[in-house]
Amino acid sequence: MEIDNRVAMKHLSAFFLLVTLPFYAVSGQSPEGILKIFSDMPLVVYVDEVHCPQYSDIQLVPGTHYVKAINSEGVRVYSEIVTVRAGEVTSVLIETPKARVPDAQNGVTYGQPASNMQAGPPSENPDPLPADPPKPEQTIDIGQISGMLPADMGGAFGVTFGMSISDVDRIMTPKAAKAQRSSGYYTYAIPNGSSVYLVEFRFIDQKLFQIIVGYPSIYNGNSKMKLDKKEVPFPEFNRMVNDVTAIYGEPATAEKIFLAGYSEEDGRILEALRRKKALILHTWIDHATGNYIMVGLGYTTAPLAATIYTSGSLEAEAAARKLRLNGYDYKKSFKDNYFSN
């Protein structure tokens, strides 16, 4: 099945401007922290996918950052989310991986049968079956229940496609600190530590067909949450990708689109996003239902990382009816909507 990428990312953050919740933890600390990376080997280091040639003293805004290190042979030796605190130094030590030494017991070479083992018929008690692999640990809230999402990509946050508006609202209202209910879509602000993220539900014929989870970068201004237009939410984007991949496997497609001379390596991704010359999209598809999930990094009124869950059948109906919701035209492709605005 070919996906037309009709998802509504563009206007999700319009509701962000309405959020005036007090910060749960207001701080007067310095606006920057320091990340120091130590290693006994030469490295190529990226922080939030930006190359840092001098990685012994990196100034960063407080919060979580994705750190990746590659050795001189081009092998990734480090890939972690690191927390940087205002006015503090965060140190990371990356050591050369040690080669594994084969085990040896009673003079027997590892992998060889021991000389005192007796030959004979197979045991009447076969080895127990291996335990089920542990469920992936949830690292960011994109609607998992007990760390999982539906196998058929049929919803999130405990709601499913086709559910009525009233049922969705009954489930989501207790989770939200603030809500906006508009014709055809409901949006909820969900507390996230000292910040907030937004979840928008979209309906056709009073039935749910799309869920959009948006994580912007937010800062505190006059005890109100405000969009940070200078910070790209790479950590949230990477966590979303990792969480969806842990459940559904590798994405069907992974696009990194850069226009007008911009590139992934030039260090100008914020400028490219702001000018609508860059877009990153990963797509997962359930071919049995036509449902799909997209994780994207784009720009609305500020940089935004979003996960979008869509019902394949109900979205096709929205496109056939030329539905428009919250400024999004479902008869047009996602790229036409995104790059033309």
pLDDT in tens, 311-330: 999 999 999 999 988 888 88
Highest mean pLDDT among 39-43, 143-147, 167-171, 325-329: 167-171
Say which residue the tokens 């009525």 belong to: 164
Rg value, the chain, Cα: 24
Assess if residue 305 is contained within a domain. Answer: yes
Within this chain, do residues 173 and 82 fall inside the same structural domain, yes or no?
no
Whether residue 80 is found in the same domain as residue 193: no
> For the residues 244-260, what does the mean pLDDT come to?
94
The reply to whether 58 and 201 lie within a common domain is no
Residues 195 and 327 grouped into a single domain: yes
Would you state the pLDDT for residue 68? 87
> Taking residues 99-121, what's their average pLDDT?
46
Average pLDDT, the chain: 80
Is residue 231 domain-resident? yes
Do 153 and 59 share a structural domain? no
Asked whether residue 282 falls in the same domain as residue 157, the answer is: yes
Domain count, the chain: 2
Beta-carbon contacts of 130 under 8 Å, excluding residues fewer than 6 positions away, are none
Output the CA torsion 93→233→274→245 (10° steps): 100
Residues 228 and 330 in one domain: yes
Mean per-residue pLDDT, 298-316? 94
Residue 309 and residue 277 in one domain: yes
Question: Does residue 106 form part of some domain?
Answer: no
Whether 257 is in a domain gets the answer yes
Could you tell me which residues come within 8 angstroms of residue 120 by beta carbon, excluding any fewer than 6 positions away? none
Q: What percent of the chain has pLDDT over 90?
A: 47
Q: pTM for the whole thing?
A: 0.65
Lowest-pLDDT range, 51-60, 221-230, 284-293, 304-313? 221-230
3-state helix, strand, coil in the chain (%, to 5): 15, 35, 45
- For 10-45, how does the pLDDT look when each residue is reduced to its tens digit (9 = 90+)? 344 343 333 333 333 323 333 578 999 998 888 888
Query: Does residue 226 have a pLDDT over 90?
Result: no
263 vs 72 pLDDT, higher one: 263
Q: Which residues pair with 293 in a beta bridge?
A: 284, 309
CATH number of the domain to which 47 belongs: 2.60.40.1120
If asked whether residues 174 and 50 sit together in one domain, one would say no
* Mean pLDDT to the nearest integer, 44-52: 81
Q: Which residues contact 51 (CB under 8 A, 6 or more apart)?
A: 44, 45, 265, 267
296, 241: one domain = yes
Whole-angstrom distance, CA of residue 310 vs CA of residue 291 = 6
Residue 17 lies in a domain: yes
Place of tokens 């007008």: 260
Q: Is residue 7 part of a domain?
A: no
Tokens of 69: 């290190």
Local confidence band at 104 (pLDDT 50, 70, 90 cut-offs) = very low
- The whole domain housing 237 covers 12-25+139-339
User: Does 335 or 230 have the greater pLDDT score?
Assistant: 230
| Per-residue pLDDT, 185 | 95
Q: Is 101 within a domain?
A: no
State which of 77, 94, 111 marks the end of a domain. 94
Residue 274 domain flag: yes
Q: Are residues 166 and 272 in the same domain?
A: yes
Question: Residue 115: its pLDDT value, please?
Answer: 42
Do 204 and 182 reside in the same domain of the chain? yes
Lowest pLDDT segment from 67-81, 100-114, 310-324: 100-114
* pLDDT of the residue at 29: 35
pLDDT at 130: 63
CA distances from 118 to 103, 115, 121, 125, 126 (A): 21, 8, 10, 17, 17
